[in-house]
């Protein structure tokens, strides 16, 4: 069977397009580090978050592996910590956020980063991130959660690692 030269060209070009399309989808799915939030964070009793050791005193805790764990309680209409006092974490360090809610569904989005999850009552959302640079990120609730939803926000302050170590040793001494 004789295939015309231009037919071959078109065939090749369309095959290339298909390969390029699949490549962009694969890159978009795994390349920029975007992942689905799964149920690895576990659950807590939404009617009494203080029944859970981790959420009795939400805050920033040093983890065994040298990283930091941040426990955050979301409620109508604030993040604790985050809204009344900023969450301070070090740069260049693995930080894992555990976020839960005791009332309604909220959102936890760090503006300017790919940290973004739904916060479901009783369900602990777990997100691990390493901030490359010091700076301030706003926490935004991006799920409609009631009349003052638009006021629900907080702050994460990423400070240089040495500065953070210094501050935590000052607190401890």
Q: Which residues of this protein are in contact with ligand CUA, per CB under 6 A?
A: 77, 106, 141, 143-145, 149, 152
122/149 with CB nearer ligand CUA: 149
From the CB of residue 17, how many other CB atoms can be counted at a distance below 10 Å? 10
Supply the minimum distance, in Å, between the C-beta of residue 149 and ligand CUA.
Answer: 4
94 or 140: CB nearest ligand CUA: 140
Strands 87-90 and 153-159: parallel
What is the C-alpha to C-alpha distance for residues 58 and 99, in angstroms, rounded to an integer? 9
| Min CB(51)–ligand CUA separation in Å | 22
Q: Minimum distance from CB of 12 to ligand CUA (Å)?
A: 51
Shortest CA distance to 75 belongs to which of 49, 44, 110?
Answer: 49
The DSSP secondary-structure symbol of 46 reads T
C-beta closer to ligand CUA: residue 87 or 152: 152
């Amino acid at each position: 069977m004789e295939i015309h030269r231009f037919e071959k060209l078109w065939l090749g070009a369309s095959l290339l397009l298909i390969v390029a399309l699949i490549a962009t989808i694969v890159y978009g799915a795994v390349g920029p580090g975007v992942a689905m939030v799964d149920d690895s964070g576990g659950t807590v009793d939404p009617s009494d978050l203080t029944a859970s050791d981790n959420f009795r005193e939400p805050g920033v805790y040093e983890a065994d592996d040298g990283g930091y764990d941040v426990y955050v309680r979301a409620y109508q209409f604030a993040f604790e910590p985050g809204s009344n006092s900023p969450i301070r974490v070090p740069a260049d360090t693995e930080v894992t956020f555990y976020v839960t809610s005791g009332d309604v569904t909220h959102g936890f989005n760090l503006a300017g980063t790919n940290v973004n999850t739904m916060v479901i009552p009783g369900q602990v959302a777990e997100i691990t991130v390493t901030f490359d640079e010091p700076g301030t990120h706003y926490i935004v609730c991006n799920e409609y959660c009631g009349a003052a939803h638009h006021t629900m926000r907080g702050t994460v302050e990423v400070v240089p690692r040495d500065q953070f170590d210094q501050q935590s040793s000052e607190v401890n001494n």
